[in-house]
Chain A
Amino acid sequence: MSIGPEASITDERSAPTDDPAAERGSGEKAIAGRSLKQIAWRRLKRDKVALAGAVVVILLVILAVLAPVLTRLWGYPINEFHGDQIDPTIQTPLGAYGGISKDFLLGVEPGSGRDIFSRILYGAQTTLVVAILSALVSTILGGLLGLAAGYLGGWVDSVISRVMDFLLAFPQLLFAIALVSVLPDDLFGLDGRWSRVIVLIGVIGFFGWPYIGRIVRGQTLSLREREFVEASKSLGARSGRILFKELLPNLAAPILVYTTLIIPTNILTDAALSFLGVGIPPPNPSWGGMLSDALTYYTFDPMYMIIPGSMIFITVLAFNLFGDGLRDALDPKAR
């Protein structure tokens, strides 16, 4: 399966002339920058679907942050066994629909009777942290390397481009599994859960940077030939200033869009790794891990598969809707 966000190939072509900010010279940059934000915000406000996506995302983040509180209010500790909820012979929950009841809002796990509600909430914590922070890692790496490749050109460009092509044409999932499985379980004195989160952020972030890097490189290539860069150069500006004060603000829109669009992909990868048993180590809860356990039980207790599956679906869909809306708002021609 493709790990990166789709459509990167066409997007590289529909480069900077589509970007409203790039149409303007450096003289009115301050005003233009703000007005682009205003235009985009106005468009985004009209896009009901994208806003719905944003609301769901915010809601999920709140749920994840408040997981300990919500668990105390309406759930049971994540690793507390409730054998009394389980049919002792066939190991499935006693109640209907996977044991959903007033006490157990989303039912109980088959076999052990652990509370699914609190495990879903704690699973949201790791999933969101991994997905968002690894997107940041990809953005920083991809932004810097793409900028360097596009602006410096020459051998720097050929080396970086070659590495990007190489990483894109690569059995990435295979390598992610391999890398995650050889790295040690405990890092920096953190427990298994959070040290694995750091490993996942690193690995997923690393494999994602070429997607952003290609786009940034493509945009930089054409931006650096524009008059405002030349003007800045003729005024004696150093490379650092041109890169970060002239080029980077013009690249902010595509970078923002692709960072948003890489998050849902990262959620799927993170869940896939947990599904394959190399993600968040049990007994810590993860959505992918629950789906992996569900393989044993889905014929007797489908709810245990449907709940985490739907959570992944809703989360990924919400990020996709918001990301698409953001792209349409910042770059209307891409539609």
Chain B
Amino acid sequence: MLSYLIRRIVNAVITLLVVTMVTFGIFFAVPTITGSDPALLYIGKTADPASLEGIRTKLGLDDPIPVQYGKFLKGLVAGRDYANGADVTHCDAPCLGYSFKTEQEVTPLLISDIPVTLSLAIGAAILWVLFGVATGVLSALKRGTFLDRAAMTGALAGVSLPIYFTGQLALLIFIHELGWLPDAAYTPFLEDPAGWFTGLILPWVTLAFLFAATYARLTRANMLETLGEDYIRTARSKGLPERTVIGKHGLRAVLTPLVTVFGLDFGTLLAGAILTEQVFNLRGLGYQALTAIRQNDLPVILGVTLIAAIFIVVINLIVDLLYSVIDPRVRLG
């Protein structure tokens, strides 16, 4: 168990290093090859050569790219000083540098965005797992009935509907036509729990509908496969009540593959519910990422990608550990 954990953590760190390297490569190396200058991005096209040179020295943009990458890593672990002669700025670890556009420190900027995305993702995840799995199980048990067909038609429609369409439809119907809800917005939970809930309920439901459709289809397929297994027949012939057969023996086997999918989906969602945040105008990590990419704000892009990758790697690790708890057949080793 311990050696497994250590191996997985080493693996996770390697993955994170590769992600930062690839991002670094894309955003620092590609502009150099195509001939645009990061220092120009930072200071604007009107800059005079002297201040441009100053910026270059200060940000270390004159160094070869591997050296720049090394400095970036050092900043993450130990903090970093940006120096241009007497003008020294210290940036505490974990330092992700300064935004090219707003000159703010990137780390606190991104940390302030995390609660928005986290609220969005957790609320939606609870909804979609509950509804998706319940629909899938019911559909499988009532296979071939009207209920099954209606649910599966709905689910197929769900996987074919993009959120940037359903989101606008939902906004139009529930906010502008019916007036049931205030505008979608993020209010910190600790400030106003009710406002937090009403502001996010529409994004949650819209996002959850999309994922619930996928989960319902997956659950149904897995449940049907499981119900054909010998151990289900054994459980039934032992005289166990149907509720125990389905709930304890069936559902457990169904959940195992779902947990993997959930890990991937939830991780990616935390990595930036870019589309959802864009539609509902929520200022989370995804919104930040998109703004940064549009403005070529390299340090912010690098920061968001790193945080996103950390979320994905950590959640996948948790999922793999959970695996051995849910499925007794799995042994970690």
Could you list which residues of chain A lie within 8 angstroms of chain B, going by C-beta atoms?
1-2, 6-7, 9-10, 14, 166, 168-175, 177-179, 181-184, 264, 268, 271-272, 275-278, 288, 291-292, 294-295, 298-299, 302, 305-306, 308-309, 312-313, 316-317, 320-321, 324, 334
Contact = CB atoms under 8 A, between A and B. Distances in A.
A170 B272 CA distance: 11
B308 A174 contact: yes
Interface string B157-168: 101111111001
A51 to B, nearest CB: 16
A309 B26 contact: no
Contacts of A9: 257, 260-261
Contacts of B267: 169
A188 to B, nearest CB: 15
Given A169-B267, A264-B160, A272-B162, A177 B23 contact: no
A275 B162 CA distance: 11
A9 B217 CA distance: 13
Contact of B165 (A177, A178, A182, A309): A309
Given A1-B273, A1-B275, 8 more contacts: A10-B218, A169-B15, A174-B274, A175-B22, A288-B164, A313-B165, A320-B156, A324-B156
A10 B225 contact: yes
Given A177-B290, A271-B162, A171 B272 contact: yes
A10 B226 CA distance: 12
B162 A312 contact: yes
A169 B265 contact: no
A173 B274 contact: yes
Interface stretch (B43-51, B72-80, B106-114, B309-317): B309-317
Contacts of A169: 15, 264, 267, 312-313, 316
Contact of B279 (A7, A173, A295): A295
Contacts of A2: 211, 214, 261, 264-265, 268
B305 interface: yes
Interface in B283-312: 289-290, 293-294, 296, 301, 304-305, 308-309, 312
Given A10-B225, A309-B165, A316-B160, A171 B218 contact: no
A6 B162 contact: no
Interface in B30-73: 30-31, 34
A161 B305 CA distance: 23
B192 to A, nearest CB: 26
B133 interface: no
A313 B160 contact: yes
B272 A173 contact: yes
B168 A294 contact: yes
A163 B205 CA distance: 34
Nearest to B258: A9
A1 B161 contact: no
B260 A7 contact: no
B326 interface: no
A321 B172 contact: no
Given A1-B210, A178-B26, A6 B159 contact: yes
Contacts of A174: 271-272, 274, 289, 304-305, 308
Nearest to B289: A174
Chain A's interface: helix, strand, loop or mixed, by majority? helix
Contacts of B305: 171, 174-175, 178
22 contacts: A1-B210, A1-B265, A1-B275, A2-B264, A10-B221, A168-B264, A171-B312, A173-B268, A173-B275, A178-B27, A178-B305, A181-B294, A182-B34, A272-B162, A275-B162, A288-B164, A299-B172, A305-B165, A306-B169, A313-B157, A313-B162, A317-B157
B218 A6 contact: yes
A1 B217 CA distance: 16
Contact of B301 (A178, A292, A312): A178
A2 B204 CA distance: 16
A190 B273 CA distance: 33
A272 B272 CA distance: 14
A297 to B, nearest CB: 10
What are the nearest 8 A-B pairs in CB distance?
Answer: A309-B165, A171-B271, A316-B160, A317-B160, A171-B308, A182-B30, A275-B164, A9-B257
Contacts of B279: 295
A277 B172 contact: no
Contact of A278 (B168, B271, B293): B293
B165 A298 contact: no
Interface string B181-220: 0000000000000000000000000000011001001100
Contacts of B225: 10, 14
B170 to A, nearest CB: 11
A291 B293 contact: no
Contacts of A302: 172
Contacts of A334: 221
Contacts of B30: 182-183
Nearest to A305: B168
